[in-house]
Amino acid sequence: MEGRLRGFFIVRSIDGKQIGYGSMSQSVDAGRITLRTIYRFRDGSLDDETTVFSEQKTFTLISDHHIQRGPFFAHPIDLTTNAAGDTTNRTLDSHGKPRLETSHIDLPPGTAVVGMMCTLMANLDPATQSFKLPALSPTEKPRLFHFAVSPEGRGTFRIAGTRQTAAIFRMKTELGGIAGVVAPILDKQPDDILLWLLEGDAPVAVRAIAQLSEGGPLVDIQVAGGTFPPATEK
């Protein structure tokens, strides 16, 4: 069962330069989990997501509010999603006037959002092999896609001078439909995510190499205090 958590992160570019920092806080009330993750960038940009989900026999999305704004993000969002698949995005049009866009997506059971990913992955059976996970994209026009998740070996890092070993998982985005066919041709296929999980009695994500936004650059998010190999290496 999930409990209260607090964590801090460093955000680096792929070449190792620190470009921001992050924090996460998690509280639990009667099986209802509220998880907030915030990244602040040196250029003033902000990524702020609050996800509420339940934990019974499965993890189930209740609501999500995801804000991305500032020069780091080419397409800012203020996106709210509920369990029924209703989404609302509050942005500004080309004239700087508020614009409200709503849509509905039929969400299959087990659909996740970005804010749930590390929790879901940390609760994997260690013997798990490849599987697919339905997810909702944090984009101007949200869409349903799947992560194809598979083991990618192991990597080592250090915390407080001690050597630690993490299991690495590759998460490949499968857009499906026409978008899935066209994206590779137009060079718009999202980059794979590499997620590092420290295993044991209390598994936890310690590193993610991923894009935070559609078309955005890869970043290297690391638990604060850790020393990791370059992003191009395990």
Q: Model confidence at 224, in pLDDT bands (50, 70, 90)?
A: very high
Spatial distance between the Cα atoms of 196 and 98, rounded to a whole number of angstroms: 39
pLDDT at 196: 96
Confidence of residue 141 (pLDDT cuts 50, 70, 90): confident
- pLDDT over threshold 80, residue 95: no
- Within-domain flag for 205: yes
Rounded Cα–Cα distance for residues 103 and 100 (Å): 10
Phi, psi of 17 (to 5 degrees): -80, 135
CB 196 within 8 A of CB 120: no
DSSP result, the chain:
----EEEEEEEEETTS-EEEEEEEEEEEETTEEEEEEEEEETTS-EEEEEEEEEESSSEEEEEEEEEEESTT-SS-EEEEEETTSEEEEEEE-TTS-EEEEEEE--PPTT-B-GGGHHHHHHTS-TT---EEEEEE--SSS--EEEEEEEEEEEEEEEETTEEEEEEEEEEEEE--HHHHHHHHHTT-PPPPEEEEEE-SSS-EEEEEEEESSTTPPEEEEEETTEE---TT--
The number of distinct structural domains making up the chain is: 1
Q: What is the mean pLDDT of the chain?
A: 89
What CATH code is carried by the domain that includes residue 194? 2.40.360
Average pLDDT over residues 69-88: 94
Domain that holds residue 108: 5-227
The rounded distance, in Å, linking the Cα atoms of 153 and 192 is 15
In a domain, 234, yes or no: no
Rounded to two decimals, what is the model's pTM? Answer: 0.89
Instruction: Give a yes or no: residue 44 inside a domain.
Output: yes
In this prediction, residue 225 carries a pLDDT of 94
Model pLDDT for residues 20-67, shown as the tens digit of each residue: 999 999 999 988 999 999 999 999 999 999 999 998 888 999 999 999
Query: Following CA atoms 62, 11, 195, 57 in sequence, which dihedral angle do they give, to the nearest 10 degrees?
Result: -20
In terms of C-beta distances under 8 Å and separation of at least 24 residues, what long-range contacts does 126-133 make, across chains too?
Answer: 126/167, 126/199, 132/174, 133/171
Mean pLDDT lowest among 9-18, 30-39, 96-105, 112-121: 96-105
Single out the residue of 73, 28, 20 nearest to residue 51, CA to CA: 28
| Tokens at 67, concatenated | 């804000």
Is 45 part of any domain? yes
Q: Is the pLDDT of residue 184 over 70?
A: no
Residue 221 lies in a domain: yes
Q: Specify the higher pLDDT residue, 125 or 44.
A: 44
Q: 200: exposed, middle or buried (C-beta count within 10 Å: 0-12, 13-18, 19+)?
A: exposed
Q: How much of the chain exceeds pLDDT 90, in percent?
A: 71
What's the confidence (pLDDT) of residue 98? 82
Please indicate, yes or no, if residue 185 is contained in any of the structural domains.
Answer: yes
